[in-house]
Amino acid sequence: MKETLLNPEIEARVDVILSMLSVQEKIGQLFQEKAECENLEELKSRIRAGRVVEGYGEDPYLTGQLGAAAVEGYQGSELQQMKQSKRVVACAKHFIGYGASEGGRDYETTEITEHSLRNAYMPPFREVLDRGCMTVMSSFNELNGETASGSHRLLTELLKEELGFAGFVVSDWAAVEELISHGIAANHREAARISLSAGMDMEMVTRCFLDSLESLLESGAVSAGRLDDAVRRVLRAKLMYGLFEDPYTPVEPEALEIHTSDLALARRAVAESAVLLKNRAATLPLQRSRGKTLLTGPLLHAQAPLLGTWSMDGQPDDVTTYQAAFAAEWGSEAYVTHDPALMDQGLAMAHNHKS
């Protein structure tokens, strides 16, 4: 949906609602599209990529504009909005090149020319960072043979120095430990040393940092200055978020309800995202005078699949099925649908049909 929503204002308004609902659920940082919602996905240049649905598409300008709108929606246009527990910390991901995986396969390596990196992949990140995005997630992938989550050139020289990023870098899920799988670290201690020295500030899920940083610091394998910088970046984000002033977010049960106005905005966002690919014989808009409409397909009665990606905690019962929506608008006499009992017979007829 996101890549066809050519309306940054609607994007921001949707993300305001998502951020406020997340805060009420004691979620303070948003990564992906689920109840935690979606954030600022990087450019998706490979349409075959399995996670292409999470991003804003292949256009650098559109990705940057919608991503910047999302930052404002999540964090608020002013720091005070976020400190008053009405917003969350946004995270731009994945840095960098994750959307260009070979063959569209998750975790696969990427090959991007310097020209494409700077003219297609970096501009969206520049837009969201200029809007004040407070965190960036490192990528799983290798970029031109260089492991992104262990690359000083990418995390420090490119992101922090050239793009001027002052927030903190968080690893993708277990990405620090996976430096072992990439073959550039022999163990957890080595993975922690490489990643922290490269510019990683926070490790997600695995314990390479927790188990190794004290001894790495004592041995001089990592510098106190780099560790101080990582801690400072994380604490600065927490301070700006207001966690030192009010570390506990009060939950008001009645506020957790999704209001009618929220649903109306969601429907508008979906409607504005719809793309009509074909309209043979002016079939749309539907007209009653043309007779009944055939409703069919594997998602006709689906609820859970319509919640979208990363929606493990979603409530399928809240989803209106396609058939129910059509019936509510046109009436139950306006359509016909398939009879599951005749499925085998229909398949046999289709198999034997000669065109």
Q: 169 forms bridges with which residues in the sheet? A: 136
d(CA 326, CA 323): 5
Active-site residue flag, 106? no
CA dihedral 105, 48, 299, 30 (to 10 degrees): 70
Tokens of 18: 């998502």
CA distance 98 to 92: 12
Give the CA angle between residues 70, 52, 75 to the nearest 5°: 15
Q: Please give the Cα distance from 124 to 43 (Å, whole number).
A: 7
Residue in 15, 59, 130, 172 annotated catalytic: 172
Tokens 């609602």 correspond to 17
DSSP symbol at 159: I
Instruction: Kindly tell me the burial class for residue 234, based on how many C-beta atoms sit within 10 Å of its own C-beta (0-12, 13-18, 19 or more).
Output: middle
Amino acid at 226: R
Give counts: helices (H), strands (E), the chain. Answer: 12, 9
| Beta-ladder partners of 135 | 91, 168
Quick one: which H or E segment has residue 294?
A: strand 293-295
Local structure of residue 174 (DSSP, 8 states): T
Q: Of 33, 53, 51, 52, whose CA–CA distance to 311 is shortest? A: 33
Only one residue has tokens 């992104």, namely: 148
- By the 10 Å C-beta count (0-12 exposed, 13-18 middle, 19+ buried), 126 is classed as middle
φ, ψ of residue 83 to 5 degrees: the values are: -70, -20
Cα separation, 350 vs 293, in Å, equals 20
Using only the alpha carbons of the chain, give its radius of gyration: 24
Q: Give the residue numbers marked as catalytic.
A: 172
